[in-house]
Structure 1
Amino acid sequence: MNVRLKIDSLGGQGDGVARTERGQVFVPFTLPGEIVNVAVERDRGTLMAVVEPSPLRVEPPCRHFGTCGGCSLQHMDDAAYRAFKSERVASALKRERIDVALEPLIACAPDSRRRVVLSGRRTVGGMLLGYHRMQSAEIVDIEECRIAVPSIVSALPLLRDLAGIVCQNTKPFHVTVTSTETGHDVAFADVDDVPDAARRAAGDMAIRQKLARLSIDGDIVVEHHRPAIRYGSVDVSPPPGSFLQAVASAEEAMAGLIMAHLAKAKRVADLFCGSGAFALRLAHGSEVHAVEAEAAPLAALDRGFRFSTGLKRVTTEKRDLFRRPLTFKELDAFDGIVFDPPRAGAEDQSRQIARSNVPKVAAVSCNPATLARDLRILIDGGYKLVSVTPVDQFLWSPHVEAVALLEKPRKRR
């Protein structure tokens, strides 16, 4: 059904929201105040034409915007876009009755994302490699990407050639590409059994093209150079396809906030530590106990520590903090805590932190809703919220990172 709608607001996913007699309709790539022609199916709308554009509408910088679902807000004026990102955090805090004035948003530049996850599939017309169309399983083949560092964009033809060797059926797959200090780290995933001959051919191509590493479903095919990610002054080689803060400048900004807050802590617990983005920076001034559920990132962290100089002691512990959070008694051995959980947050761990006497806590999250929930737990446990800083690490998407800093007077024993 084709209708003309007025967009009233932006939803949490960056879609325009039109209020109709039948309820809300969500229309991607629209802005508040616009009059648009839309093809409506249930509560979703496909933009057909903008009849009356918003004064906030700008020309998107990428040719694929509107078909590729990787970005949803390239058409929005920069000041309004930043305000939307900050409001995502502010609204989540308000829902948990947390009254705090946000610090200014830390912005993210175009062409700066060092890690991207591409989707691919072999078709009769050739190899598709790109991102999914919004709300669809269809893969949009891309020739440019204005969020990724230029070296990744330049590598797209090579990645298609590699995919043509590795992926020999029509099953969809993913490839994670990370730009490291020593070259690109390329990790294919969701690939069916790859013949030995294809592995050798892909490995030969990776060496000729000077990739740092090529892996398939976690197995390293070739490591021409050990991939290196620099955490402050420490080089770490994360495992294939592992978590990494997407934008180096955003990671540096978040680490700066955390390090300043925990500067006087002699012993710090880094929970959900990954491969050590915060732990290894903090170790310049504090002893650090790093806790993570997966062994491979911990091993990378430990290797980075052991091959570095000038750091205080760093210990590691493999522990599933969702199933077995550090108890408040264990936490009381520390002067500071930083935790950076997945999107689900750290509800149970936060309850233990709230019962502890640790004077300084830094909470990092890519999900404002679960961050607000966890902060509510900490505040109810006696912590004072010092600051919350939004960080735009996910350019032109509705997602936003945040760093919250808290403190509690240590009880006298």
Structure 2
Amino acid sequence: MTEVTIERLGHQGDGIAAGPIFVPGTLPGEVVEGDIVEGRIAAPKIVKPSSERVAPPCRHAKSCGGCSLQHASDPFVEAWKRQVVETALAAQGIAAPIRGIHTSPPQSRRRATLSARRTKKGALVGFHARASDTIIEIPGCQLLQPELIAAIPALEALTVAGGSRKGEISFTVTQSSAGLDVVALGGKPTDVALRAELAQIAGKHGLARLTWEDELIAQRAAPVQSFGNAPVTPPPGAFLQATPDGESTLCSAVLEAVSGQKHVVDLFAGCGTFTLPVATKADVHAVEGEGDMLSALDKGWRHAIGLKTVTTETRDLFRRPLMSDEFRAYDAIIIDPPRAGAEAQSRELVASYVPVVAMVSCNPVTFARDAKILIDGGFALDWIDIVDQFRWSPHVELAVRFSRKVEVKRR
């Protein structure tokens, strides 16, 4: 047994001692002991706990890999996430004008991916144990909306019907206004008998929609999400903000950032998370690489009341970013890229005439890289809002406003 002192937390939430030695479930300043295997203490004993250590609210905290920071107080986690953002920006020489941090409440995740495997007695459904293929059952989970936990019997039945004893099924489960939207990957290939059995299970458990791989098996009702006052039915498995609370906070920040602008382009628009709320005040052009997501957005716009003009364009923004001259018609840009960020697109934004950029990011490191491009190109970073909708995890999201320091006159 070796005794070590935790110096800091890494970006994945593990404690790090000199070496480095990675120790999950620990906090800075704690003294722990355990066996070091390949630079890691997998099962540490806490010799001297931190004053920020709390009793985890969920009984599965030690075994389940769904949360990694339940042993830390909320104020500590908020301060640490703020520091993660500040550190990423400081590495690019950028000060961080952070206005605050908003954390989604417990039991608010409306979307999760659960793992399932057939067993001799039935099926096992839950999250993986930390760094393991073992599936941990999660009754009483403090992360997910209760409706998602209530879906586990349905997922067990689907696993028994369509799962393999050797394989594992991945279920993406999303709460909608009509009930649960379920997408299953990794199950048996369908035939007439299996389709009928799966559809019967979906009906029995009242699922709004069931998709098996890329095949629609059953739809009792359209699994509608509301973006502003627009009803949108996303394609199966389409991206959705993790919590309604987090989505609302991000939308409020974006609306504030582009307030007063009349012509907006929304890049990486998805199904319209920001496009449709902003369309209450401005004309919006939505650009997204997935055509089926834009089709859902367009249909939602056409069924909404009181929105201004929304147009759409299917375009791979990594291969073909909008060029600087294509921004001439717009007063503001909304950009919400994946974790890889939008380096090429950011360079084109600098060369454009657009005075305002609202950026949403789920990766502080790539955000800092893109922010430096904008700042070096003449933009000022006005403010940052931190949004923590992945409670008890190391993930963090940002909503940010940039504006040009000197107005560029259009030619």
TM-score, normalisation: structure 1: 0.96
The answer to whether residue 402 in structure 2 is matched with residue 403 in structure 1 is no
- Using the TM superposition, name which of 28-37 and 277-286 deviates more: 28-37
Mapped partners of 2:220, 2:307: distance in 1: 29
Q: Could you tell me which amino acid in structure 1 is paired with residue 364 of structure 2?
A: P
Shift of 1:125: 5.3
Shift of 1:137: 2.6
Give the match's secondary structure for 1:7. strand
Name 2:17's counterpart in structure 1: 18
Mapped partners of 2:56, 2:203: distance in 1: 37
Mapped partners of 2:250, 2:341: distance in 1: 17
Give the match's secondary structure for 2:41. strand
1:353-378 C-alpha deviation (Å, 9 max, x unpaired): 11111011011011000011111101
> Which residue among 283, 290, 293 is the counterpart of 1:294?
290
Name 1:28's counterpart in structure 2: 24
Structure 1 segment 81-92 matched on structure 2, within 5 A: 81-92=77-88
Mapped partners of 2:82, 2:308: distance in 1: 36
Mapped partners of 1:261, 1:109: distance in 2: 25
Name 1:274's counterpart in structure 2: 270
Name 1:4's counterpart in structure 2: 3
Mapped partners of 1:295, 1:128: distance in 2: 35
RMSD of equivalent CA atoms: 1.3
> Which residue among 147, 152, 159 is the counterpart of 2:148?
152
Q: Could you tell me which amino acid in structure 1 is paired with residue 151 of structure 2?
A: A
The answer to whether residue 259 in structure 2 is matched with residue 263 in structure 1 is yes
- Using the TM superposition, name which of 123-132 and 362-371 deviates more: 123-132
> Which residue among 323, 326, 338 is the counterpart of 2:319?
323
Shift of 1:307: 1.1
The answer to whether residue 46 in structure 2 is matched with residue 47 in structure 1 is no
The answer to whether residue 379 in structure 2 is matched with residue 380 in structure 1 is no
Give the match's secondary structure for 2:393. coil
Kept in 2, the 8 Å contact 1:228–1:237? The answer is: yes
Q: Could you tell me which amino acid in structure 2 is paired with residue 99 of structure 1?
A: A
Structure 1 segment 135-146 matched on structure 2, within 5 A: 135-146=131-142
Mapped partners of 2:204, 2:38: distance in 1: 51
Shift of 1:348: 0.4
Shift of 1:147: 1.1
The count of aligned residue pairs is 409
Shift of 1:39: 2.6
Shift of 1:163: 1.8
Name 1:194's counterpart in structure 2: 190
> Which residue among 350, 368, 379 is the counterpart of 1:354?
350
Mapped partners of 1:80, 1:100: distance in 2: 19
- Using the TM superposition, name which of 153-162 and 291-300 deviates more: 153-162
Mapped partners of 1:41, 1:242: distance in 2: 40
> Which residue among 233, 240, 255 is the counterpart of 1:244?
240
Q: Could you tell me which amino acid in structure 1 is paired with residue 288 of structure 2?
A: E
Mapped partners of 1:7, 1:411: distance in 2: 50
1:188-245 C-alpha deviation (Å, 9 max, x unpaired): 0122313321221121121122211011112110110000111111110001111100
Kept in 2, the 8 Å contact 1:123–1:170? The answer is: no
Shift of 1:170: 2.2
Mapped partners of 1:46, 1:38: distance in 2: 8
Kept in 1, the 8 Å contact 2:66–2:128? The answer is: yes
Mapped partners of 2:47, 2:302: distance in 1: 62
Mapped partners of 1:176, 1:214: distance in 2: 10
Kept in 2, the 8 Å contact 1:218–1:241? The answer is: no
Identity of aligned pairs, percent? 43
1:87-144 C-alpha deviation (Å, 9 max, x unpaired): 1111111111111331110111000010001122223454221122222233223223
Q: Find runs of 4+ consecutive structure 1 residues off by over 4 angstroms.
A: none
Shift of 1:296: 1.2
Kept in 2, the 8 Å contact 1:14–1:72? The answer is: yes
1:144-194 C-alpha deviation (Å, 9 max, x unpaired): 321111111122222212222121342122100001111010110122313
Name 1:72's counterpart in structure 2: 68
Q: Could you tell me which amino acid in structure 1 is paired with residue 350 of structure 2?
A: A
- Over 3 Å counting, the alpha-carbon distance change for 1:299 and 1:169 in structure 2 is farther
TM-score, normalisation: structure 2: 0.97
Mapped partners of 1:114, 1:153: distance in 2: 10
Kept in 2, the 8 Å contact 1:166–1:199? The answer is: no
Q: Could you tell me which amino acid in structure 1 is paired with residue 160 of structure 2?
A: G
Structure 1 segment 74-113 matched on structure 2, within 5 A: 74-113=70-109
Give the match's secondary structure for 1:80. helix
- Over 3 Å counting, the alpha-carbon distance change for 1:196 and 1:142 in structure 2 is farther
Mapped partners of 2:122, 2:17: distance in 1: 39
Shift of 1:4: 2.1
Mapped partners of 2:188, 2:198: distance in 1: 15
Structure 1 segment 219-234 matched on structure 2, within 5 A: 219-234=215-230
Give the match's secondary structure for 1:17. strand
- Over 3 Å counting, the alpha-carbon distance change for 1:126 and 1:29 in structure 2 is farther
Give the match's secondary structure for 2:256. helix
Name 1:58's counterpart in structure 2: 54
Kept in 1, the 8 Å contact 2:23–2:44? The answer is: no
Kept in 1, the 8 Å contact 2:56–2:70? The answer is: yes
Mapped partners of 1:190, 1:314: distance in 2: 37
Q: Could you tell me which amino acid in structure 1 is paired with residue 39 of structure 2?
A: D
Kept in 2, the 8 Å contact 1:214–1:220? The answer is: yes
Mapped partners of 2:190, 2:62: distance in 1: 35
Kept in 2, the 8 Å contact 1:167–1:194? The answer is: no
